[in-house]
Amino acid sequence: MNISIKDKKILSDVRIEKAREFLADAQANFKQQRFRTAVNRAYYASLSALRSLLILEGINPETHDGVLTMLSLRFIKTEILPVHIIRNFKTLFSKRTDVDYGDFDTTSSTDAEESLKNAEEIIESIDVVRKKLIAEIG
């Protein structure tokens, strides 16, 4: 992907703001006891955060699996991010798949609360690295 540094920064900022918006949506749904929707929004908040980081490297995966693969290669294997970030994201992905496609799925408040905590940690961890990358690329 050939994209200017300026555009990378703009996209990264837009995506991290989207992540924060989706997280706020997840929290609001949790308060309304809409646990399935809270899990869904927590996952998409995390996905947006990961995409905000990857775009700074000029990486723009088109699939969820592509995001996982590229995050693992660029940030987990290089130990820029701790391995539990990818594990928590995979857990969110699995829960989101269950709530979106499972006809008889039930999601407890505990599951939804765990999803929110995972999303919050992912977003904050990603944002720290994202800000460092932005400072490095000027």
**Contact call for residues 58 and 8 (beta carbons, < 8 A):** yes
**Contact call for residues 35 and 116 (beta carbons, < 8 A):** no
CATH superfamily label, 5-137? Nucleotidyltransferases  domain 2 (1.20.120.330)
What 3-state class would DSSP assign to 119? helix
pLDDT digits (tens, 9 = 90+) for 5-51: 999 999 999 999 999 999 999 999 999 999 999 999 999 999 999 99
First and final C-alpha spacing in the chain: 19
**Contact call for residues 55 and 8 (beta carbons, < 8 A):** yes
User: What's the pTM value of the predicted model, to 2 decimals?
Assistant: 0.94
Name the nearest CA neighbour of 123 among 20, 44, 10, 8: 20
